[in-house]
Amino acid sequence: MECLNKKLDQIFNNFTFITPWLLRLSLGVSFIFHGYGKFPLPPQKLIDYFGFSETLASFVAISELTAGVLLILGGFIKSHLGSLITRFGATLIVIIMTVALGLAHRDWFITPKLFMSEQIFLLIVGLYFLIRGNK
């Protein structure tokens, strides 16, 4: 068993550099699609479902799209600025997901339904990039 694990380490250690990118790209693209799906502005579904104003509903859509773009863009910038951009995008994601869980899914708190949904994972991966930045 240990021999198999060492062999797998030899194979996969060459690919560890892409693991943050797999998370970054999937989360970023997800938020780009979530935000873009609310266009044209104002997103009537948010206005009807949550009673948001046109301005707030448009802000949510733009924030989702922006968060995804910033998260991906931040990974390409290798200085402290890239890490700040990543963290800013991640902050938007964490705020959006916390509010979404609180408004739309407050009955899910610490239930199997929460942990079987994509929302908790979007929040957790957002927290990962907020904490780690580009490290």
Question: Is this prediction's pTM over 0.75?
Answer: yes
Sign of CA dihedral 70, 97, 27, 129: positive
Report domain extents, the chain. 20-132
Per residue in 77-98, pLDDT (tens digit) is 999 999 999 999 999 999 999 9
Q: How many CB atoms sit inside 10 A of residue 115's CB?
A: 11
What do you get for the CA distance between the two ends of the chain, in Å?
A: 31
pLDDT in tens, 30-70: 999 999 999 999 999 999 999 999 999 999 999 999 999 99
